A and B are shown apart, each in its own frame.
Chain A
Amino acid sequence: MLQATSTPATAAALSGPSGPRPRSVTAGRIGLYAFLVFAALFFLLPMYVMLVTSLKTMGEIRMGNIFSLPSEATIEPWIQAWNSACTGLNCGGIKVGFWNSVRILIPSVILSIFIGALTGYALSLWRVKGANLLFAILLLGAFLPYQVFIYPLVRIYSTIGIYGTMTGIVVTHTIFGLPLMTLLFRNYYSSLPIELFKAARVDGGGFFQIFFRLMLPMSTPIVIVACILQVTGIWNDFLFGVIFAGRENLPMTVQLNNIVNSTQGEKLYNVNMAATILTALVPLVVYFISGRWFVRGIAAGAVKG
C-alpha cells in the first residue's frame, strides 16, 4: 500500500515538475474523506449497535449506553437466540426458522432459475407466436404490487390443496421470481453470438437438446447472478412466507419478527439482536463472497442484462 502510493510522488520529484498535478492533501480532499467516513459511520452504526448489544448481559443493557462495548462479553444470548428464543408458545429458537428457510430456499431457487432459463431461451432464440405479449405481461407482473395477486392466489391454493404448505411457498417464489429470471436469461441468450445457435441447428439439434447441451453449460455467469438474486431475495422474503408457508414452515424472517415483536414476557434485547444478526447472516455472506457479482446482479436486475 505505502509503496504503491509513494511511487508516483517520488517519480515526479525526480523528473521535476511537469505541469500542474493535483496535490494530495487539500481542503477539498479532506472534506471528501470526511464525508465518506461520516457516511460509512451512518451505515455501520446499526450493525455495530446490534453486535455489541448481542454480546451484553441484560443488566448491562438496562444501564443505558447503547454505543459502549460490552464490559464482559458473553455469547450466551447467541446460544439462547439459536436454541431457545420464544415466539409466543414455541421456544425452539431461531434455528427452527433457519431450517425452514433453507428448506424453502433450495427448491425455490432451483425451480425459479430453471423455468426462467427455459422461458428466456424460448423467448430469445425461437420464433414463438405471442412471445412479445407474454414477455410484456411478465415484465408488468414484476412491477405490480403483490397485493393485487394475493387473495385470489390463496383461493386457488386452497382449492388445489397447497395453501399453507411447503409446495405452496415454493410455487409462490417461482411465480414471482419468473419475471426477473426470464428477463435475465432472455437478455443473456440474445447477447450470445447467433452463429452458435445456427450451427447447432444445422447439426440437427432440437429445442431441448440445444438447451441442455449447449445453452445451459454456457450459462454459468448468468446462473451465478441469478442465484445471488434469488438466494438473497427468497431468504429476505417476509410477505409470502407469512401468507403462504403455513404455520409449520414459517421462514426465518417471519419467526424473527415474531420473536422480537412478541408482546409477551420481558424483552430480551441481547437475544433479539443476536437473532437479528443470525437472520441477516446468509445474505451477508452471499454479499461478501460474491462482491462484484452481487453488484452486477442488482444492476442487471435493475437496468437490463
Chain B
Amino acid sequence: MKPRRRKNVASYVALIPAFIIVVFAYLGTMLWTVQISFTDSRLLPSMNFIGIRQYERLFATPRWIISLENMVIFGVGLIFVCLILGFLMAAALDQKIRFENTFRTIFLYPYAMSFIVTGLAWQWILNPTLGVQQYVRNLGWTDFRFDWIIQNDKAIYVVIIAGVWQASGLVMALMLAGLRGIDQELWKASRVDGIPAWRVYLNIVVPMLRPTIITSVVLLSLAVVRVYDLVIALTGGGPGIASEVPAKFILDYLFGRSNIGLATAASSVLLVIVLVIITPWLYYEYFRPERAKGAK
C-alpha cells in the first residue's frame, strides 16, 4: 500500500494520551460499570452474576423513584423558565438599550460561580428564620410564609429557583448571539409592513433561533442529569429525601452505603437516558453528511 502524504507515525504517537483516556477512562469504565450492575456486588465488586435483579431492586426503591421524579420536575422547570427568561432578557437587550453591557454582565455573572456557591447563597436567602420570610414578617405580615426549603413537596422548586439564577444568563448569552445574527433587513421589512414586533418575534425570530434553542436545551438537560453540587449545598437532598436527585443517589449508595451493585445499576439507567437524548443531537450536529455546510 502506498503511504498517504499526510500520514505520519508521529501523529499516532501524539494521540496516545487521548487513546489511553478514551479506552480506559471512558469506554473501559463505562463497560465495567454496566457489568457490575448485573452482579450482587455490595461493599466490594463481585463476579456473581444475578441478571437484572439489581434493576428490579432499584425500581422498587422509593428513594430512586423520588430521585427520578425530582429530576423530571427540576428538568422541566429549569429548562422552561431558563428558556423564557433567557429569551426575554436577550430580546430586551437587543432593543438598543442604555447600559447594555452592565445588564449583560449582571445577568451572566452567576454562571461563572460554582453550584456550591449558588446553593449556599440561596440557602441563606430562603432560610425561613433569617431570610425573606422573616424579613416580610418583620414588615408586619406576621403570617407570611415562604419556607419551601423545609417543605417536603416544595423543596425541589427551591432547587429550580437557584438553578434558574445560575443558568438563565447562559441562555441569554446564547440567544443574544443568535438575535445579533439575524438580518437587520427583516426588522425593516416588518416595520414597513406594519407588523407588530411581538408577532415578528413569535412567528419569525423564534423559529429562526431554533438551533440556539436546541443547543440551550441540550446544555440545560446535561446540567439536569448531572445536578449534584447544587442540591448538596442547597438542601442536602432534604428535608428527608424530598429533594433527592439521581446523581446524589448514586454517589450515596456508592460511597456512603456501600451498595455498589445498586449504584451502578442506577448509573446505567442514567447512561441510557443520556444516550437516548444526546445521540441524535450529536449525530445531527457533527456527523451529518456534509451537505448543509456551516456545521463543523
Q: What is the interface of chain A, defined by CB distance below 8 A to chain B?
A: 5, 32-33, 35-36, 39-40, 42-47, 49-50, 53, 61, 64-67, 115, 118-119, 121-123, 125-128, 132, 134-141, 143-153, 155-156, 174-175, 178, 182, 187, 190, 201, 206-208, 211, 232, 235-239, 243, 253, 256-257, 260-261, 269, 272-273, 276, 279-280, 283-284, 286-288, 291, 294-295, 298-299, 302-304
Contact = CB atoms under 8 A, between A and B. Distances in A.
A140 B30 CA distance: 12
Interface of B is mostly: helix
Given A119-B17, A175-B21, A207-B10, A239 B229 contact: yes
B138 interface: yes
A119 B17 CA distance: 8
B29 A149 contact: yes
B88 interface: yes
Interface stretch (B89-97, B141-149, B151-159, B199-207): B89-97
B12 A128 contact: yes
Given A257-B120, A294-B108, 20 more contacts: A36-B93, A36-B97, A46-B118, A46-B122, A49-B124, A64-B135, A66-B125, A66-B135, A127-B7, A140-B26, A140-B282, A147-B251, A206-B8, A207-B13, A239-B229, A257-B232, A260-B120, A261-B232, A286-B112, A294-B112
Interface of A is mostly: helix
B110 A118 contact: no
Given A43-B107, A256-B120, A284-B109, A145 B267 contact: yes
A119 to B, nearest CB: 4
A151 B36 contact: yes
Interface string B235-255: 010000000001100110011
B138 A65 contact: yes
A237 B229 CA distance: 9
Interface string B117-137: 110111111000011101100
Interface string B25-52: 1111110110010000000010000000
Interface stretch (B58-66, B72-80, B167-175): B167-175
Contact of A40 (B4, B106, B122, B135): B106
A286 B232 CA distance: 25
B166 to A, nearest CB: 10
B287 interface: yes
B236 A261 contact: yes
Interface residues of B, number: 102
18 contacts: A33-B97, A43-B109, A44-B106, A46-B121, A46-B165, A66-B135, A123-B15, A139-B286, A140-B275, A145-B267, A146-B247, A147-B266, A152-B28, A156-B29, A206-B10, A236-B115, A257-B232, A279-B114
A256 B124 CA distance: 14
Contacts of A152: 28-29, 32-33, 36
B18 A207 contact: no
A122 B17 CA distance: 12
Contacts of B18: 115, 118-119, 122, 134, 138, 178, 182
A292 to B, nearest CB: 10
Contacts of B246: 147
Interface of B: 4, 6-8, 10-15, 17-19, 21-22, 24-30, 32-33, 36, 45, 85, 88-89, 92-93, 95, 97-98, 103, 105-118, 120-125, 130-132, 134-135, 138, 165, 169-170, 173-174, 177, 212, 215, 219, 222, 225-226, 228-229, 232-233, 236, 246-247, 250-251, 254-255, 260, 263-264, 266-268, 270-271, 274-275, 278-279, 282, 285-287, 295-296
Contacts of A286: 112
A53 B95 CA distance: 36
Nearest to A45: B125
Contact of A137 (B26, B118, B212, B260): B26
Contacts of A127: 4, 6-7, 11
A276 B28 CA distance: 37
B30 A144 contact: yes
B173 A299 contact: yes
A145 to B, nearest CB: 5
Contacts of A135: 286
B188 to A, nearest CB: 12
Contacts of B4: 127
A207 B12 CA distance: 10
A143 B280 CA distance: 13
Q: Which of B8, B28, B103, B134 has the most CB of A within 10 A?
A: B8
B296 A190 contact: yes
B106 A43 contact: yes
B124 A273 contact: yes
